[in-house]
Structure 1
Amino acid sequence: MQVKKAIIPAAGLGTRFLPATKAMPKEMLPIVDKPTIEYIVEEAIKSGIEDIIIVTGKGKRAIEDHFDNSFELEESLVRKEKFDLLERVKESANVDIHYIRQKEPNGLGHAIWCARKFIANEPFAVLLGDDIVQSETPCLKQLINEFNTIQSSIIGVQQVPEHDTHRYGIIDPSTNDGRRYEVSKFVEKPKQGTAPSNLAIIGRYILTPKIFDFLEEHTIGSGGEIQLTDAIEKLNRIEKVYGYEFEGDRYDVGEKLGFIQTTIEIGLTRDDLKEPLLNYLKKLVKEYE
């Protein structure tokens, strides 16, 4: 079966970015001039996804508004003959997106479970908004290509420093075929020094609908929440779940420093910003030396 549906969880409270996220969803915080969630949606579309469901929560209406048409704004841009801006504004409304509420903040696993009726009995993708991946072949597309070969659940992983493994779900790989790993165990946020490897789960998943059988159990895991990694570990006992070390540069926009670094690095890819931004950074380096 082909992967044509994707879930984007966006119900988190965004406490790491308070007070900015008191009234604005963290997914709408801009990287240069584009909300973080738009980078995620664009990756899904470029990977061949046709239907997207965003799992939202209270105070997330701005996400729905962003991906809707804005007639007054579009008419104003037409009158001012700002056609380049008009095209960029219309891009965000040119995709069919569905929404569902996660009524209680019960964790990532619960957020995925909330979208079960939308997915029905199909394999599906999950993209987390805290991870932006810049790569020649979209990260999700790399996973879909692997899924088309093995027809089994597969999860994006990357190596992280040993001292950071406690922040992630970690795989315990048994064998590998190039970048694809068979996994003997999935561990959610292992205690410092106990991680079975430094291969961390990084915000991109292709899952079979069987995962909902385990999410249905609503088992409480790390942090007092229903963890997706715990359900994946149970799924792996009855059907293989692989890890795939994808190619590309991953940016963690769920942390303040990562958000700043991402803004700078993506700004440096822009023709209109690269030279003045580089000059500014060089000036700062001299001042702080």
Structure 2
Amino acid sequence: MTVPVSTAYAECTSYKRVDLYADQYEGPSSCPSGYTLHTSCGAYWWGDGAYLEQGCIYKNQWWRTCTRSCSYNGPTYHTYYATLTYNANGGSGAPAEQSKSIYATSASGSVNFSISSKQPTRTNYKFLGWDQNSKATKPAYPKDKSGTISVSYGSSQTLYAIWQKVASSKLIYHGGPNASDPVAQYTRDEGSTLKLYDFSDPNLQSKKFTVPAGMRFDHWNIDPKGAGTSYYPNATFTYGAKDVNLYPVFVPLVSQMPSTGVNGAMLWGASLLLMSSGIIIHRRNRTIN
């Protein structure tokens, strides 16, 4: 190459151009065990130029910046969950989900969950227990026995409520001997119990149950004519598989005489004895003839 005389050495009439490249590094020069060193470099940029005294050479210096970093090349860790869920399977009130986790390189191992003691409910059904098969008839985990279930990390299990249909029936209160009278119906599952209403109970009065004039309510009977089984107010009634109709039994109102403190049967027996002896008692003057 030709250069001005004023900037060149006297013995050189021409110069040879030489491009020199150099890297500037940022970051670590090495990495610890288990990590890999990565280098990322940008484009070269011109730094400076200079004439060399020896050999008539013109040096052209280029630079670039390189960034170094370390990346982990060992096993990868993740969070793995083991989850147990409950399905009411047509009912309601299933227990809350149970879950545990590990932070590991693989989903190895399992956890034992205790079966929840909380029981779901379902109208007209009896809860039998839990099973992994939603259509099971005999649960693997009966409701009255404690148990555990193993769930592997990285997986989930679902327990389904297993039900048995329970017969239900009605207790039907009638306002009179006719089936067409106003009635109050109470449906319960077989085996349920309740206290029987009195005829004057507000729950029945709201159904327009009324006592006939000159009569008073005495008890209930399953027969409209009072010839069947009798039930009395406040007695405990147990539901069965069949409906039960209750009809009111009314008796006449009787004026009560003041009590003498003596048993009526004894007075009647004494009267018969005196009459057989020819003795007559007159109540008005209380004299004996």
Structure 2 length-normalised TM: 0.17
Greater fraction of residues in helix: 1
Structure 1 length-normalised TM: 0.17
Which entry has the higher C-alpha Rg, 1 or 2? 2
